[in-house]
Chains A and B, each alone.
Chain A
Amino acid sequence: MNRFVRLFTIGAALVFYCNICLAEDMVQVKGSDTLINMVQKLSEIYMAKKPGTAIAVTGGGSGTGIAGLINKKCDIANSSRQIKSSEVEDANKRGVDPKRVVVAIDALSIIVSAQNSVDKLTVDQIGKIYRGEVKNWNEVGGNDLPITLYGRQSNSGTYDFMKENVMLGEYSPNLKSMNGNAQIAEALKQDASGIGYVGVGYAKEASGIKVLKVATKPGATYYDPMNSIDVKNGKYPITRPLNQYVNGTPKGAVRNFIIFELSEEGQAIVEKEGFFAIPGEYQAYNDQTLGITGTVRDDPMRPKDLGVNDGIG
């Protein structure tokens, strides 16, 4: 009898908690490893301010996030790259209409071990290194040491962004594919011969590594991704928007959370997490996605018309 009482109590408690879960506004956020810490922080602060909303942030890579949005497994897809036209087609086929919001600006940072004597590279040199054409540090002004390539797995938006905007070619087959930004930073701490790339938020907090200065071409000025003025002026060559994709014009809890992310307070958190606040052009773009100015732009894939440095091309 005692056991029945206990079982009944547990059952009742479960029903009670489930009711709470259902009563709350659940927002599922999924995708980019570059954005995860920042969005996690934003969601924690937002949830503390707005009890009744539950936001779950998970990773898996930009490709996984966008696939989740297309398969309706998440409400917001974090993505460090832009959605591909094939993905838009796939989404439309399933009745999903991906809309883009830019939540932060990232200066993709090229990092090496703290022991490496090289402290600057041109975009062309970075491309050659990752394509496997330059194999030794002495070819780019360093010691005689073979280069070990660290990068991300193919489900990563950063992997695609590097390939399409910096390398302009295919990765060397010797690339070590790591699981996330933190794993790359950790590997470079130990490997004196390594080179890697991470979001600037991760470059700032990691220790035992060196962040390289980058120039567009030989003879041009080298800029530091951690200098917020150079990044915001668009002088640092490898900057990119960090995006969130939603299905259609966002409503309800999703919309409220996005508005919080884009607010002054939200953008202050973005900067505190090591990334950069979005400039005015993107704010106007986001307003359109959110339907704030009335007309909603149909094509979410045209950042270049906005006059913001969206890569290096």
Chain B
Amino acid sequence: MAKHNNFKEKLIHGLFFLNGLLVVIVLVGIFVLLVTKSLPAFKEIRFSEFLFKANWNPTATFVTPSYGIGSMLVSTLMVSIGALAIAIPLGIGAAAYLSDVASQRVREIAKPIIEILAGIPSVVIGFLGIVLVGPVIAKIFHISNGLNALNGSILLAVMALPTIISLSEDALNSVPKSFQEASLALGATHWQTLVRVKIPAALSGIIAASMLGMGRAIGETMTVLMATGCAIAMPTSFLQSVQTMTATIAIELGEVPYNTTHYYALFGIGLVLFIITFIVNMISDIVLHKYQRVLK
């Protein structure tokens, strides 16, 4: 009987180990695929040209095709950073409200609603960008249309908010009760306690939440494809149309002839994107761990 249990135990251990391993294998597999598929592109394109020139036109017929993704790199960063600039203040505010101000009842209603927001398909948000956010932007800034980087930023902010709110709230909740009590005992008001004690104490958790939100924003495709206007020129302001790296892959991978420089270059964009999100997630992970140690 005991032996049988032991075997079962081992089997289950092995099974879970395999599950864990599978994730690592998939991650490494994706990385290897991206590297091997994008390497041939750099036989024909200089790496510095690929990364820093803003002249993406792989289907050119009247001039030689060019493969500079500089403007897309800038566009992706612009849209993501713009999204964070909108989502972080809103997200921290909402998280602080939920953890410190809202009554139990409000919290029970608001939390699931925020989680539902995370589940809205990106196509629907993109559609809102075209019919609602775009015209409003055009009206406010007196420009002819609202398909621009700002539109993308606003929509991505909406999409990143649930992540930022729920992780920031967790961080605020895990600040030891004693911190708050000490602050209040010293005569600080509720507001002072929140802003000067709790938020600084939870800061690394909030930063980690924001980085995860950024990871989501950088990788988002459909929304930006629909709402940012998709022009390849180097953007000089948030009111210009931009085309992100994800949008380029989505538009062009469906029709590109296999095993051409264009095909490999699209994998090259994928690789750059993978490295950026990897770094962003890594930083958020490191920050998160550090903060957990500090509080313990």
Point out residues on A near B: beta carbons under 8 Å: 60-61, 63-64, 66-67, 86-87, 90, 145-146, 148, 153-155, 160, 163-164, 168-170, 172-179, 183, 186-187, 190-194
Q: Mark B40-83, 1 if CB is under 8 A from A, else 0.
A: 00000000000000110101111100000001000000000000
Report the bound CA distance from A168 to B61 in whole Å: 9
Pair B57/A63 contact, Cβ less than 8 Å: no
Residue numbers in B under 8 Å from A64 (CB-CB) = 254-255
Partner pick for B255 among A146, A155, A175, A179, CB 8 A cutoff: A155
Q: How far is the CB of B52 from chain A (nearest CB, A)?
A: 16
Pair A87/B257 contact, Cβ less than 8 Å: yes
Q: How far is the CB of A240 from chain B (nearest CB, A)?
A: 17
Interface SS, B side: loop
Point out residues on B near A: beta carbons under 8 Å: 54-55, 57, 59-63, 71, 130, 134-135, 138, 144-145, 147, 225-226, 229-234, 241, 243, 251-252, 254-255, 257-258
Q: A177-B231, A190-B138, A190-B145 are in contact. Are A155 and B61 (CB under 8 A)?
A: no
Pair B241/A179 contact, Cβ less than 8 Å: no
Residue numbers in A under 8 Å from B233 (CB-CB) = 172-174
Residue numbers in A under 8 Å from B255 (CB-CB) = 60-61, 63-64, 66-67, 154-155
Q: A173-B233, A174-B231, A177-B243 are in contact. Are A67 and B62 (CB under 8 A)?
A: no
- Measured CB to CB, the nearest residue on chain B to A188 is B145
Residue numbers in A under 8 Å from B225 (CB-CB) = 179
Which of A153, A168, A192, A193 has most chain B Cβ within 10 Å?
A153
Pair A148/B144 contact, Cβ less than 8 Å: yes
Report the bound CA distance from A67 to B256 in whole Å: 8
Pair B241/A90 contact, Cβ less than 8 Å: no
Report the bound CA distance from A186 to B57 in whole Å: 26
Pair B62/A61 contact, Cβ less than 8 Å: no
17 A-B contact pairs sorted by A residue (CB < 8 Å): A60-B255, A63-B255, A66-B255, A90-B258, A145-B144, A163-B62, A169-B62, A170-B61, A172-B233, A173-B57, A176-B147, A176-B229, A176-B230, A177-B230, A187-B147, A190-B134, A193-B144
Pair A164/B61 contact, Cβ less than 8 Å: yes
Report the bound CA distance from A192 to B139 in whole Å: 13
Residue numbers in A under 8 Å from B62 (CB-CB) = 163, 168-170
Report the bound CA distance from A197 to B147 in whole Å: 18
Pair A153/B60 contact, Cβ less than 8 Å: no
Report the bound CA distance from A210 to B234 in whole Å: 31
Report the bound CA distance from A148 to B255 in whole Å: 27
Pair B241/A176 contact, Cβ less than 8 Å: yes
Pair A173/B232 contact, Cβ less than 8 Å: yes
Q: A170-B60, A176-B231 are in contact. Are A86 and B251 (CB under 8 A)?
A: no
Q: How far is the CB of B61 from chain A (nearest CB, A)?
A: 7
Pair A194/B61 contact, Cβ less than 8 Å: no
